Amino acid sequence: MPRRPVAAFTKIGGFYFLPRTFDKIRVHARGELHPDHHEFLGKGFDGRLCHFLGIGYEALRLSTLAGGTDEEMLHWIRERWRKTSEVDLLIWNGVSSKRRWRDDATPNLEKQKAESGLAHRTDLVTFFDYYEVDEGHAPR
């Protein structure tokens, strides 16, 4: 049965979205990822996060599928690709969690909300907010 990935607000090592990226990779490899997510693998937030961390998506995908926990993967990224600081976390989490909130992509969020029957939800102001409701995750 297809499933949605873990919530975007889930953190590892202080990073939003990284556990979601790992989860999407693993679940897709097992053939269980909900089809709505297939076209975005390695793109969108996954791609931005990889760029921010200095790692190519394919390298991250292959390493994730080779095994290891999320914590081990984070250690591998920090050792091999980018050492991160508290400022890095502040930048990534601030930008990613507020994407589509009064920025150039706001029309895209409104379009997706309408397509999902959520246009009436004025409380969904970012894509992370939208994912939480659209995917049925427990509210933060």
Q: Average pLDDT of 114-122?
A: 89
Q: What is the DSSP string of 81-131?
A: T----HHHHHHHHHHHHTTTSSSTTHHHHHHHHHHTT-TT-TT--SHHHHH
> How do residues 48-85 score in pLDDT, each as one tens digit?
999 999 999 999 999 999 998 999 999 999 999 888 88
Same domain, 111 and 76: no
Range of the structural domain that residue 54 is part of = 1-84
Structural domain count, the chain:
2
Give residue 81's Cα distance to chain centre.
Answer: 19
Same domain, 38 and 106: no
Angle at 126 between CA 103 and CA 46, to 5 degrees: 90
Same domain, 5 and 70: yes
The more confident residue out of 116 and 28 is 28
Q: Is the pTM of this model over 0.75?
A: yes
Same domain, 75 and 102: no
Q: What is the model's pLDDT at position 102?
A: 61
| CB-count burial class (<10 Å; 0-12, 13-18, 19+) for 8 | buried
Within a domain: 51: yes
Q: Which tokens belong to 63?
A: 């390493």
Same domain, 67 and 131: no
